[in-house]
């Protein structure tokens, strides 16, 4: 089975486009590939899904134990002919930017997978070999098995390949040319979401066709062939309670593993759109509002007054609710749009969402609960992640967030029927899903 971690010396080398090119070409070659993303990013897996038509999964060694990560990888890679794991940032860049913990290298080491380095050979030639030799020497084992040149002409590839192989000892598996028609625009921390690109499939085909013709596939197969992981499929659990899950352009940041954990604990997921629907799904016992870009759709969310009223009434009536980041902003009083104009939101929580024009409290953090609540026990700790350019005038005090560098702040609203705050939680491998489903079941029993 073809298995590899796709990584780079640093951000900006085009890992996501290279992964999409590889996945598309693998699919065309009949390998039935699957995809994973190292770290907490929501957007890159959207592009994996757009290529493959199946879920991509996050693997994160800050969120999860090595055992959980190995289990998730084995479960979702089993039965496929290829598995591609897209790294984050530079190969060794991990927790706090000063540690290899939760880096792409840490993941390759945990899963014992070979890594393919994606390199843009812009502005360097022999010096590029020196950089790559530094990467090889930095950790043992380094797991790096090959090089892929990105945004590279055929002539430059023919010149660089023998030199890089001689100087680094690493085989160069091919190149991807610069394709202006396949470029993907960025926003905030990364690419625009896949759903926002009207001609995405045409761009993905350009990438796949390029990978088909400019990569040495027999060499790639030899370098990255590994025994297929074996994993028993999870036992089917009959649904016991319905959960409403927001899913549209404004609320699109959900981990597949979180939704699967809810289903494995007896939830039937009922997707709805706060942008378009005028009522919550019927007969629900809980509500999950994930993150996304509500600030870009603040006017549309405000205009849907029936949904805002229905949601406010349900939450105030005790409907078990989990709201992360964008979902948290939606529960507030108002939310500023990209122009700074405030719009009314659901009005469940006291804060107003405001544009800051900069990243706020970005990165991994550990949450400590101050008291018992629906999801947390007093003193309990959970890993989390924040990334947002909007803030709230009232962020809550139910939890304390702490970074590895010692910085701390209060955050979150939590009681017997709600969790709402900026931190994104990763529910797989934790008791969170079981607790949320149990709260939803209790709510339905009491409702009767």
Q: Clarify whether 411 is annotated catalytic.
A: no
**Per-residue tokens: 194:** 């896949």
Which SS3 state, helix, strand or coil, does residue 212 take?
helix
Name the residue among 330, 306, 197, 160 with its Cα closest to residue 251.
Answer: 330
φ, ψ (nearest 5 deg) of residue 342: -80, 145
Q: How many helices (H) and strands (E) does the chain have?
A: 13, 24
CA-based angle 60:66:68, to the nearest 5? 80
Report the alpha-carbon distance of residue 36 to residue 23 in Å, rounded: 11
Placement of tokens 């805002």 in the chain = 308
* DSSP code string of 145-190: EEEEEES--HHHHHHHHHHHHHHH-PPEEEEE---GGG---EETTE
Catalytic residue chosen out of the listed positions 20, 34, 252, 325 = 325
Report the alpha-carbon distance of residue 20 to residue 181 in Å, rounded: 14
Pairing of strands 408-411, 241-246: unpaired
Q: How far is CA 424 from CA 45, 236, 327, 388, 427, in A?
A: 16, 27, 10, 11, 10
Whether the Cβ atoms of residue 44 and residue 86 lie closer than 8 Å to each other: yes
Q: How far is CA 349 from CA 13, 176, 204, 323, in A?
A: 42, 49, 42, 11
The residues annotated with a catalytic role in the active site are 325
């Amino acid at each position: 089975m073809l298995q590899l971690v796709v990584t780079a010396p640093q951000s900006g080398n085009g890992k996501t486009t290279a992964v999409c090119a590889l996945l598309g070409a693998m699919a065309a070659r009949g390998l039935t590939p699957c995809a994973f993303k190292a770290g907490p990013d929501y957007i890159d897996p959207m592009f994996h899904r757009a290529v493959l038509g199946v879920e991509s999964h996050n693997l994160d060694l800050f969120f999860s134990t090595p055992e959980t990560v190995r289990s998730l990888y084995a479960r979702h890679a089993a039965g496929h002919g290829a598995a591609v794991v897209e790294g984050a940032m530079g190969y060794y860049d991990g927790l706090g930017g000063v540690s290899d913990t939760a880096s792409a290298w840490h993941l390759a080491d945990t899963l014992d997978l070979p890594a393919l380095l994606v390199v843009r050979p812009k502005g360097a030639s022999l010096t590029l070999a020196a950089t790559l030799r530094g990467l090889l020497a930095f950790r043992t084992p380094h797991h790096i098995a090959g090089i892929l040149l990105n945004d590279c002409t055929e002539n430059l590839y023919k010149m660089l390949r023998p030199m890089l192989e001689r100087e680094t000892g690493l085989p160069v598996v091919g190149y991807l040319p610069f394709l202006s028609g396949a470029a993907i625009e960025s926003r905030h921390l990364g690419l625009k979401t896949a759903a926002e690109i009207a001609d995405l499939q045409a761009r993905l085909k350009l990438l796949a066709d390029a990978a088909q013709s400019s990569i040495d596939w027999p060499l790639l197969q030899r370098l990255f062939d590994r025994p297929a992981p074996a994993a028993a499929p999870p036992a089917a659990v009959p649904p016991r309670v319905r959960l409403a899950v927001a899913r549209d352009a404004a609320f699109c940041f959900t981990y597949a593993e979180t939704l699967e954990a809810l289903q494995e604990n007896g939830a039937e997921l009922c997707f709805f759109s706060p942008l378009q629907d005028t009522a919550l799904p019927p007969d629900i016992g809980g509500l999950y509002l994930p993150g996304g870009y509500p600030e870009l759709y603040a006017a549309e969310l405000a205009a849907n007054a029936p949904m805002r009223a229905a949601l406010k009434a349900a939450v105030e009536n005790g409907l078990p609710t989990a709201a992360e980041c964008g979902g948290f902003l939606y529960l507030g009083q108002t939310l500023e749009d990209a122009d700074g104009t405030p719009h009314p939101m659901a009005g469940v929580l006291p804060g107003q969402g405001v544009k800051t024009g900069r990243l706020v409290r970005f990165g991994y953090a550990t949450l400590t609960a101050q008291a018992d609540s629906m999801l947390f026990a007093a003193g309990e700790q959970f890993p989390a992640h924040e990334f947002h350019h909007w803030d709230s005038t009232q962020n809550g005090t139910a939890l304390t967030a702490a970074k590895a560098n010692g910085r701390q702040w209060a955050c979150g609203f939590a009681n017997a029927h709600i969790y709402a705050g900026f931190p994104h939680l990763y529910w797989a491998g934790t008791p969170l899903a079981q607790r949320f489903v149990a709260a939803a079941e209790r709510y339905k029993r009491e409702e009767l």
